[in-house]
A = this chain, B = another copy of it.
Amino acid sequence: MAWIFHRSPQLWSAVRHLSPHRTISFTPTTRLPPADLHGLFLTWRSGQSEASCRKLHSGAGMSEPSPAAAPERLPFSQVTQEDLVFFKKILPGRTITDPDLLESSNVDWLKTVRGSSEVLLRPQTTEEVSQILSYCNSRNLAVNPQGGNTGLVGGSVPVYDEIILSTALMNNILTFDRISGILTCQAGCVLENLSLYLEERDYIMPLDLGAKGSCHIGGNVATNAGGLRLLRYGSLRGTVLGLEVVLADGRVLDCLATLRKDNTGYDLKQLFIGSEGTLGFITAVSILCPRKPKSVNVIFLGCETFEQLLQTFQLCRGMLGEILSAFEFLDSECMRLLVTHLKLPNPITECPFYVVIETSGSDPTHDQQKLHNFLEEAMASSLVSDGTVATEDSKIKTLWSMRERVTEALTHEGFTYKYDISLPVERIYQLVTDMRTHLGGRAKSVVGYGHVGDGNLHLNITSPAKDPALLAAIEPFIYEWTASCQGSISAEHGLGLKKRNYIYYSKPSQAVALMGNIKAMLDPKGILNPYKTLPDKLK
């Protein structure tokens, strides 16, 4: 299936001829599950409990929750014994109150936000979710919808004592149509399990994240997850064909269509995609899945300047065309951390910028030829300084890990301030450069990596420990800089708890006011995922 590079010796000679002083190395690599939301989730494994999946280096700056980030508790009711009796009747054996069992659901994956919920509910059916929400709404009890709890903005854990309503036991695949490639499943299906199911049937999921071993498809949809295949297959707004959603008052909204086209009225499912569980509880999803590519290849290149990297991207889009499936980058600071902390060897000579390019196509020979032509042109134009091609399908892993493990390397630096910025692609690295200048010696390191193809920068700033003075230097500078370029202060992570009040940097007050109206219409008591997504005060 994979492109075997040594079958194409002419590329070797072409590249040697063009760049006799440069080397093309051939790293024996294996194919990794492609990178995550931004490379954070490294050790998730399917089938493990959430707690056992968390294996992140505990850096010096691993912080306790910051109460300052949360607004005052809203006047929701508190859970009573009578409430528990009701829940246990609906969900016998699936109403969890043991604090130890609740711990992993009360804390987010980054361990920066902690709630104090005393009840975790694990429904199995839409009807159960409906009964629970109807009851909670009538009792004015706040509810925190939770999938795999892999979010990065504090959106997936309670802030106070909200009831945690988990999709963990809603994990049935409902239907799969082998002709159309349309899958329907319950919201709690783990992304990796869906991927494995589909691959056996010659299809793939249209999204892929490093968190796939834990994240739930319902959570992916609720957060409009991006990930690594967006460049090729587009966003969930196009690939999700239908949703079943339970509204705050328990009404079931059945929009679980399995049609590529349906223009009968307003597309209500779009309201719930990316609304982070604040408008409804997604119970089932239908999604259009692409055919499994017959050929996947990865190359790792070095560029001297970001301008050359952008030119390489343009060349790549023209010459690789329809087979280009990822174009990711990391800077030399990322590489330094990978080498220093994780002892990963740099597969090529040192460069200011590194690129991971993936192709996915239906004809291995054609893909090889296109890659050959592209590399020849990129070397001839001196756009790239050095490069490595993963030659075997089973060994692409090492190259992908250079991109995927940056976040793990970052955790060894101490405390990390993390930003997920969307910008016009030609501006994405300027923010890193400007931030370095702006911060001077205050930060330990300022690193940039991300999805070039999507104009999505992951900017991370480290310090030995949590540093309020450093934070004050970063914010609002970074948000103002982003706003000045009409960028987004959250490209794919959402707003959650942490970023809800920064929404005005990316959305005008008219828009935020309208969002507030929609929230009030769908959840008048505000019980669904309170303190998230929308700002504390409307302008």
Contacts and interface: CB of A to CB of B under 8 A. Distances in A.
B424 A510 contact: no
Nearest to A455: B260
Interface in A453-502: 454-456, 486-495, 499
A234 B230 contact: no
B263 A224 contact: yes
Given A177-B424, A511-B254, A322 B259 contact: no
Nearest to A279: B266
Contacts of A425: 179-180
Contact of A494 (B253, B263, B279, B491): B263
A213 B469 CA distance: 59
Contact of A264 (B266, B322, B426, B488): B488
A166 to B, nearest CB: 22
Contacts of A318: 202, 291, 362
B366 A456 contact: no
Contact of A515 (B177, B266, B310, B522): B266
A255 B366 contact: no
A273 interface: yes
Given A362-B321, A508-B254, A510-B254, A260 B454 contact: yes
B265 A534 contact: yes
Contact of A366 (B268, B369, B521, B522): B369
A265 B322 contact: no
Contacts of A273: 267
Nearest to A271: B266
Contacts of A268: 511, 514-515
A530 interface: no
Contacts of A511: 253-255, 265, 268
Contact of A223 (B226, B259, B263, B363): B263
A424 B258 contact: yes
A66 B454 CA distance: 49
Given A180-B425, A362-B370, A262 B294 contact: no
Contacts of A451: 261
A488 B261 contact: yes
Interface in A292-340: 293-294, 310, 313-314, 317-323
A332 B198 CA distance: 36
B263 A493 contact: yes
Contact of A234 (B234, B265, B291, B293): B234
B263 A180 contact: no
A312 to B, nearest CB: 12
A448 interface: no
B321 A361 contact: yes
A91 interface: no
Contact of A266 (B239, B455, B518): B518
A129 to B, nearest CB: 15
A422 interface: yes
A57 interface: no
Nearest to A234: B238
A407 interface: no
Interface in A240-258: 251-255, 257-258
A259 B421 CA distance: 10
A271 B518 CA distance: 11
B180 A533 contact: no
A53 interface: no
Contacts of A259: 422-424, 455, 486-488, 491
A24 interface: no
Nearest to A488: B262
Contacts of A291: 317-318, 321
A125 interface: no
A422 B266 contact: no
A275 interface: yes
Interface in A357-373: 360-363, 366, 369-370
A263 B492 contact: yes
Contacts of A260: 230, 235, 422, 454-456
Shortest Cβ-Cβ A-B pairs, 8 listed: A321-B362, A238-B238, A270-B270, A262-B488, A261-B491, A322-B322, A264-B506, A234-B238
Interface of A: 177, 179-180, 202, 223-224, 226, 230, 234-235, 237-239, 251-255, 257-268, 270-271, 273-275, 279, 291, 293-294, 310, 313-314, 317-323, 360-363, 366, 369-370, 422-426, 451, 454-456, 486-495, 499, 503, 506-508, 510-512, 514-515, 517-518, 521-522, 533-534
Given A177-B424, A255-B507, A322-B323, 8 more contacts: A224-B263, A234-B239, A235-B261, A237-B237, A251-B510, A259-B486, A264-B489, A264-B507
18 contacts: A226-B263, A234-B239, A252-B510, A259-B422, A261-B422, A261-B456, A263-B493, A263-B495, A264-B499, A266-B275, A266-B518, A291-B321, A319-B362, A322-B362, A363-B366, A363-B369, A366-B370, A514-B522
